[in-house]
Structure 1
Amino acid sequence: MELDALVRQRIRGLRVARGWSLDDLAARCRLSPSTLSRIETGHRRIALDQLVSIARALGTTLDHLVGSGVDDDVVIRPHGDNVHGVTTWLLSREGPRHGVTVAKLRITCPVPDELRVHPGRDWFTVLSGTVVLRLGDRTILVQPGEAAEFSTMAPHAFGAHDGAAEILCILDPDGQRAHLGPARS
């Protein structure tokens, strides 16, 4: 799709997603509804000052509105990094988006004796195998298809039970530093 058509589609899509009529958006960006309609349908060229005003009214930036439609930023091809019996594949872009990091972990080591504490919350779901989760003096077995979410202020550690286990985890910035280390933050 050429960029001009993509920008027009984004304007209309954002307007509709907000539940706004042409009149609603026109009032917010100080254009006439007919001008806005012709912009959305491709019957009028978009002037830069109009585009800036439309982006501001839609609560977005000019960069987001006119950004390329190229898919290079869509597919993530993670590389496994094995440290102490845990292979980690980062499934989110460099630098956590919205404060979280998504990772897939393959755990082959048993739960360590030393429990760790850090600010925040951890969440994971078991894809295969069984994970032993130690929370303070509790030992919890988490099976495939189950998820665990807990405050990381509770002393905790996890490991594999009877063979390898794979999990998908979502970590806040504190969890990322604690579980993935500074080299991967």
Structure 2
Amino acid sequence: MTQESAHDDVIGRRIRGLRLARGWSLDALAARCHLSPSTLSRIETGRRRIALDQLVRIGRALGTALDQLVEPTEDDDVVIRPEPEHRPGVTTWLLSRERSLHGVTVAKMRIEPGAAPGPDQARVHPGREWFTVLSGTVRLQLGERTVLVHPGEAAEFSTMTPHVLAADGTAAAEVLTIFDQDGERAHLRGPDR
């Protein structure tokens, strides 16, 4: 099976699935998009290449966008394969796509012990941050307060308070964190990026 025929097969299954979800018979959809039932049947089963004008009519009849009918089936739209980004004392893996929906960035961070940032590295920016500790213990400096966050615990705080994360003790700490756009800019890109 060629890549084109495999893609036609997927499009046909999507059309059939949408038709059945609406409770329409083959004849009902064929009438709505001005195709013969036999042509529509061959399209749904992948035995006929679908022409663009047919695809437009079928999409319009089903009330769906063309890009939803033809979107790729590879796993690249689902699976994220993060690459580590190293900065002194911290390794970060982005777990969401750049410019992700809703303005949030999900990242895994490994904070090395002894990489205690100084007070000049505390960040302040609009918004809120959230993280959960996967391993190790995190020392969260919030202004004058120091909060220890242990594995399985989470922290959420206003980012208008000067804040900095460090590994507590001699072991590295790993966290899963969610940043809004301001947090992503302040923590992942740094002030010089």
Aligned to 1:176: 184
- 2:107 is the alignment partner of 1:103: yes
In 2, are the aligned partners of 1:104 and 1:166 still within 8 Å (CA)?
yes
Provide the aligned length of Structure 1 versus Structure 2. Answer: 178
**Among 25, 30, 33, the residue aligned to 1:31:** 33
Aligned 1:22-171 pairs, distance under 5 A = 22=24, 30-31=32-33, 35=37, 38=41, 39-42=43-46, 46-55=50-59, 57-60=62-65, 62-93=66-97, 95-98=98-101, 99-108=103-112, 109-110=115-116, 112-114=118-120, 115-162=122-169, 163-171=171-179
Aligned to 2:13: 9
The separation in 1 between residues aligned to 2:19 and 2:177, in whole angstroms, is 34
Report the aligned-residue RMSD. 3.5
In 2, are the aligned partners of 1:22 and 1:37 still within 8 Å (CA)?
no
In 2, are the aligned partners of 1:118 and 1:175 still within 8 Å (CA)?
yes
SS at match of 2:12: helix
The separation in 2 between residues aligned to 1:14 and 1:148, in whole angstroms, is 43
SS at match of 1:69: coil
| TM-score scaled by length of structure 2 | 0.71
| Deviations, residues 4-38 of structure 1 (Å, cap 9, x unaligned) | 1211223344567xx63327xx68x9437x94973
Distance 1:125 1:70, change over 3 A: same
Structure 1 residue 183: Cα displacement: 9.2
SS at match of 1:110: coil
The separation in 1 between residues aligned to 2:59 and 2:187, in whole angstroms, is 39
Give the residue type in structure 1 aligned to 2:166.
G
Give the residue type in structure 2 aligned to 1:113.
P
Structure with higher Rg: it is 2
123-132 or 46-55: bigger deviation: 46-55
Structure 1 residue 167: Cα displacement: 0.9
SS at match of 2:168: strand
- Structure 1 unaligned runs (5+)? none
Percent identity over paired residues: 57
